[in-house]
Amino acid sequence: MLLCHLAFLPLVRHVPPLAAFTRTFFSSPISRSALRWGWHLNRRPLERRGSRRPDRQIGGSRSHSMESKTEARDPAAESPAALADGGKGVRLKLEEFNWDHSFVRELPGDPRSDTIPRQVLHACYSKVSPSAEVESPELVAWSESVAELLDLDPKEFERPDFPLIFSGALPLKGGLPYAQCYGGHQFGVWAGQLGDGRAITLGELLNSRGKRWELQLKGAGKTPYSRFADGLAVLRSSIREFLCSEAMIGLGIPTTRALSLVTTGKFVSRDMFYDGNPKDEPGAIVCRVAQSFLRFGSYQIHASRGKEDLDLVRTLADYTICHHFPHIEKMSKSDDLSFEVGVEGSLIVDLTSNKYAAWSVEVAERTASLIASWQGVGFTHGVLNTDNMSVLGLTIDYGPFGFLDAFDPSYTPNTTDLPGRRYCFANQPDIGLWNIAQFTATLSAAQLISKEEANYAMERYGDKFMDEYQSIMTRKLGLSKYNKQLISTLLNNMAVDKVDYTNFFRLLSNIKADTGTPKNELLVPLKAALLDIGQERKEAWTTWVQTYIEELVASGTSDDERKAAMNSVNPKYILRNYLCQSAIDAAEQGDYGEVRRLLKLMEHPYDDQPGMEKYARLPPAWAYRPGVCMLSCSS
């Protein structure tokens, strides 16, 4: 298992092994042994005649990868801090968007336009318009940084018809709405067709920097993929999605974005705890924004339907590479991306001769990098089904997510996940690999990649994850090099004493690199995090801090320089579930001030932000009630 390389694996209990999840919905050509983090494929970059170019290797040196050489992180790259280019001065009205509906234009669609639940065959989407009932909708919150991505004038938020347009009650001029068709594995079981059951894309636009953005309303009404649901969303879950989308970009983690959140003025019935006691809740709609909402399941659905639809996998892959991975189309033999794999280099994988193989490697690496970044900040997605995995490597579909409070590797924020904790915090790296296995199996079934290429993509996932995770943990501790034993002992100590994950690492930067510090003063900088520990545990922590200080002294970095560096990777503020709930409680009474304050706070989570210290406090006792610390998928 991948997690056997993580320091805290021994702490996980009753977590089903990865091998139990290796069954797929069709006979996979991928070696089952490659699904475990125990394989050892020999891979050596082939030398070009006359010269060697190690800077172009994917697999030779772990410091170089397909993902690192691309424009892979467009959403993060266009974060507020990165918007200092010429396009920043463009300010458009809604009617002036530069629409370019490539998905609808280039891919096959459903010939029907009704919303009757059904199997949609031989199609990537169904044209459908928002249909949620609306009565005096209100704008709850909005993101000016997302507006900047779209070249949207912030004054447009003040328009009286803005809530009507972004609740779907009025059409957005130039838009071409549709719902996407996809399938997925849910909790390890193939679920068949799923699709956008309540999300309706308004269309795609190109901004002044040539970046493609898709606008999507979540909770906008029924589609052919709604099955037995109503296609709606409630304010409770919509606030969580809106805030976490923007909080993640503040943390520097790739994510879908959120432009706006509006109430519908109508109530929606939801059984929050699945206990037979539904109640009416305020309805709401989030406008989500991403360069694409394509998921692993977008390709799986067509492969699952047999030979007749296998060509759709290729068609959709070609579309994706053309519009979202164009650098792959431009590769040539001169790039020298060939690798020996297998026993003693018996096989060759040449990524320049098969764009689909190169693409699968990049998808694997982006996914690995994403999940490593989650582990770094203590984020648990909660529902890592293959239909919730972005092919662009974005965090997508915020349901019962949660950030760690007390460090617990087996933590899951999803009540539905409790029996097996498949999607718990510590399992996320392995689940990412399992999902990549399903994705590469899909490409293999469509004869786009070989068994060896599929195995290589999964190997790159493992290498990339370990590289990223070790780098993140090294920087979180302010070390000059990775120290597995030091980090392993730390995480074990944190789990034993239920230490707050975020606050501890923030306080850790206060430790001085001074071996002369009296023993009884070593834990003073960590006092606010090490609560209610006995003498035996104090001794364990003191021993660890002494070893840590020795490492700091050996690095030669000044205390001030190290503190600044550590505070730039250890956030002071995270979107704890109780903070979300406080904003939800106020919003359900018509007070949206707390939602807006949290939005501003989470824009700069690494800054001290004087006067906002209360938002860094530990959860109060009421935060552990059902519906706050853990949630269901009901939204």
Cα gap 431→420, rounded to integer Å: 13
336, 387, 417, 497: which is the annotated catalytic residue? 387
Residue 621 carries which side chain, given as an amino acid letter?
A: A
- Assess whether 467 carries a catalytic annotation: no
Instruction: Report CA-CA distances (Å) from 444 to 29, 300, 421.
Output: 7, 11, 30
In degrees, to the nearest 5, what angle opens at C-alpha 593 toward C-alphas 588 and 599? 105
Select from 332, 342, 249 the least CA-distant residue to 288.
249
> Please, which residues have CB within 8 angstroms of residue 158's CB and are 6 or more apart in sequence?
none
Residue 202 carries which side chain, given as an amino acid letter?
A: L
Q: What 8-state DSSP symbol labels residue 205?
A: E
Supply 579's token pair. Answer: 């903070």
**Dihedral sign from CA coordinates of 385, 388, 389, 394:** negative
Select from 197, 176, 194, 195 the least CA-distant residue to 132.
197
Cα gap 593→613, rounded to integer Å: 18
At residue 349, the 3 state secondary structure works out as strand
Instruction: Report CA-CA distances (Å) from 326 to 89, 112, 317, 355.
Output: 27, 32, 12, 10
Cα gap 545→527, rounded to integer Å: 13
Residue 409 CB-half CA count within 13 A: 21
Instruction: Report CA-CA distances (Å) from 607 to 373, 564, 579, 604, 613.
Output: 19, 10, 18, 6, 11
Instruction: Report CA-CA distances (Å) from 350 to 60, 119, 390, 458.
Output: 13, 38, 25, 15
At residue 597, the 3 state secondary structure works out as helix
> Burial, 335: exposed, middle or buried (Cβ in 10 Å; 0-12, 13-18, 19+)?
middle
Say if residues 379 and 401 touch (Cβ distance below 8 Å).
yes
Cα gap 252→269, rounded to integer Å: 36
Cα gap 77→74, rounded to integer Å: 5
- Residues counted in the chain: 635
Residue 537 CB-half CA count within 13 A: 15
Enzyme catalytic residues: 387
